[in-house]
Structure 1
Amino acid sequence: MAWCAACDWNVDPGEPEEPDGRLEALRRRLARQHGERLLAEVTTDEPPRPRRDAASVLALALALAVHGVTAALFVGGLLLVVLGRGGAFPVLGALCLFIAWLLRPRFPRLPEDEQVLHRADAPELFALIDEIAGTVGTTGVHAVAVNGETNASVSTYGLRRRRLLTIGLGLWEMLTTDQRIALLGHELGHYANGDTRQGMVLGNALHSLDTWRYLLSRIERPTLPEVLLNALYLVPRSVVVGVAAALDHLTLRATQRGEYLADSFAARCGSTEAAVGLMDGLLVSGSAAATLLRESNAPRSHRAGGRAAGEADSGLWDRLAAHAESIPASEYERQRRRSALRGHSVDSTHPPTHLRRARLLAGAALPATVTVDSARGAALRAELSGARDRVARRIMNGG
């Protein structure tokens, strides 16, 4: 990207629009003030610790109230069906039971469209995850999903809430070994941190509110009876939207604080230098995503470049790594300035990356507590080779 380091021309060619109205301007100003206070707080609280503040307690109370409505619908519907003596009561009870079933707690399953590895498939990888988890102060994971995203995440699946780590090769393949350790430390840190939105109570409450919004959504181009239905939905829909916004706002501070805490775990596991390098990788992850998209959209004849299709597919990650190596230092600087110009988003669950990076550099430089020698690195690469090839083939085939 061509830009001017002296005057910041073209630093952010896709800069967001100016706030529309006083309310939006106020929301952005409050987001900036909140972000600045949180940064000062976590900088003085080193390492930052998760806190149960008044906002977290209120968020939990709201979530329990949402689940209370679901329970009331279930119990009320059951009573209407069982005790109702004809008329509309059993029908109304059945409707309440149906809505309660739609609002029931959900337990995600393992992803079916990703490469899922278990301990027997990649013992060295799981041993590394266990070592990092021990450093962080938590336990390891039950499964690792591998996809082509330029991201990584942790979640749970199943009724027993088993742990799932998702590794996006679009980010993983750009990083050095130490930076990958920092990435794993960051993600596993979310388990140790106890992020609120990952919890069963709050997570399912947000899902229930989304379901309510769908059920009460406004009917477009309504007939006359539907106009009356829209009017009937107006008040409950407003209540649902208000509760969802309040729950989102109340958990936002804890979620952003959790990112700073996870960054501290990243530095502890892989070193401060590696954690800073990870932040730089996140800054240019959009460039990596664009590279993978170009590879996916290229015609097969041009894509292979005279080589066999399988050879072209297997070389995808080497080409991505070469692209990452070719990114000049000026582009990293532009991305940092772009992040600073955009500042704190109103509804982002992550603090601005440039602030996360600056906070890591402001503290004492930490050495790596988890290291990988060349033999272990080769074993890790061998264990991921099958998933790397399958994900590359899917990307190259436009999947």
Structure 2
Amino acid sequence: MTTTTACPRCAEPTVTTGFPRPWCPSCDWNLDRAVPVVFGWRWLDRRLHRVAYRLTVGQFEALAGGPLVPRKMTAARFVTLAAAVLLLGGVLALAVLGLWLIFFDFFSLATVGGIVLLGLAFLLRPRLGSLGERRPLDEAAAPALFGLVRRVAEAVGAPTPQIITVEYDLNAFTNAVGLRRQRVLGLGLPLWATLEPQERVALLGHELGHFVNGDIRRGPLTQVAETTLGRVADALDVDGSADAGGFIGLLTRGLGWILSRTTSLLHLLLVWTSQRDSQRAEYLADELGARAGGTDAAVRLEDHLLIRDALDTVIRREARAGHGPDAWLAAARLARANQAPNIPLLRRLSRHADVSLFASHPPGGLRAEMLERRPRVAAAVTLTETEAARIDAELKPFAERVRRDLAG
């Protein structure tokens, strides 16, 4: 914490914690400068930020004292599903028209047009996700981890993931991939290794909660809507550095620019429409994490993520020194102790710096405060130090690969 001068608005001491400019933790003076860049036009970004701030705080106040349950249908979900159906219908129409043109007068100019349309339909096809290069963790090699995941899933009323993967970053996620919609849980080893046992339970409760919290981003149709428009915009975007090619080339690039920007704007509007529901779902996932690991552990987890940059720094330092997860945990504990006085300030700062109309997650400070304002709950699942050590031993074969990745 660095105290600099008195606030010109309320005369309280200002600080520079988490922000390069002095700001006031009493009245938020100067935090209007902590505006994330969205469009690059400062006047527009600041106005959108003010709208996002009002919506975010309004939603927080409404949920903090009211019911927090999954919603099956909302206006945002309806709009997103309708857009998905229209986009899928458009892609199917392109494919059908392309096939018709190919066989209408084979081989002619129409055939070339049909091939182009088929290629465009293939480019815009729905993506159902895949594991990519990730390797599923074998349950026989990690029975303690799989057993803990099952216990947490039962505690929060969520289905058990069929696949667990070990990731390389300070993160964790759940998803459903493929035609069979296999449920995947990804655990970033740097994050997992730096959490205390009950915080790990809260993390699992939060991630598995995404299977039952009504998150608008998780449905296959809604995923189509939020990704296909982006691909359309990319396909229409013409490289301005290319040879003009006369009037026709200039006209083509101009038309492509207009269509690309229009599609991008529609994409942004669609994303903005769904983000209020997504943030609501995150609050519910946090509550399910608290149900699994206890309120105290869930709050500590949120504060842990507030100092992600500091944690990333010390973990990479230890990785470059050749040290593994035990050293990461020790370094993280020291970083958390050093940053503890700053947590209230970082929470307050996040209410401004992490607010956006296009943010899928609420600010970290509001998430911790939401848990503190709602009824406290005891842990439904307890992870002992012995069980945690057994899980660490199961994940040890991955540690060196992750360490090398972090060191690099």
SS in 2 for 1:224: coil
Summarize deviations over 1:34-70 as a string: whole Å, max 9, x none. Answer: 1122112222333333352112101110121111111
- Contact 2:233–2:259 (CA under 8 A) maintained in structure 1: no
Runs of at least 4 residues of structure 1 off by over 6 A?
Answer: none
Equivalent residue in structure 1 for 2:294, among 255, 271, 290: 271
Sort the Cα spacing of 1:229 and 1:323 in 2 relative to 1 into closer, same or farther, 3 A: farther
CA distance in 1, matches of 2:381, 2:335: 24
Sort the Cα spacing of 1:10 and 1:348 in 2 relative to 1 into closer, same or farther, 3 A: same
TM-score, normalisation: structure 1: 0.88
- Contact 1:109–1:158 (CA under 8 A) maintained in structure 2: yes
Matches within 5 A, 1:1-399: 2-3=2-3, 7-14=13-20, 20-84=41-105, 86-112=107-133, 116-225=136-245, 226-295=249-318, 298=320, 303=321, 312-313=323-324, 315-342=326-353, 344-396=355-407, 398=408
What's the offset of the Cα at 1:216? 1.2
Residue in 1 that maps onto 2:25:
none
Number of residue pairs the alignment of both structures matches: 384
Residue in 2 that maps onto 1:306:
none
What's the offset of the Cα at 1:295? 4.2
Equivalent AA in structure 2 for residue 365 of structure 1: R
What's the offset of the Cα at 1:217? 1.2
CA distance in 1, matches of 2:342, 2:258: 49
Residue in 1 that maps onto 2:27:
none
TM-score, normalisation: structure 2: 0.87
CA distance in 1, matches of 2:78, 2:103: 37
Summarize deviations over 1:267-319 as a string: whole Å, max 9, x none. Answer: 111111111111111111111112233345x5xxxx3xxxxx5xx34654344
- Contact 1:272–1:361 (CA under 8 A) maintained in structure 2: yes
Equivalent AA in structure 1 for residue 315 of structure 2: L
What's the offset of the Cα at 1:262? 0.4
Sort the Cα spacing of 1:255 and 1:222 in 2 relative to 1 into closer, same or farther, 3 A: same
Which consecutive residues of structure 2, in runs of 5 or more, have no partner in the other structure? 6-11, 22-32
- Contact 2:34–2:353 (CA under 8 A) maintained in structure 1: no
Summarize deviations over 1:194-253 as a string: whole Å, max 9, x none. Answer: 322122112123322222122111322243233222122134223311321121011111
Which consecutive residues of structure 1, in runs of 5 or more, have no partner in the other structure? 304-308
> Percent of counterpart pairs with the same letter?
31
Equivalent AA in structure 2 for residue 348 of structure 1: A
SS in 1 for 2:136: strand
Equivalent AA in structure 2 for residue 131 of structure 1: R
CA distance in 2, matches of 1:315, 1:56: 44
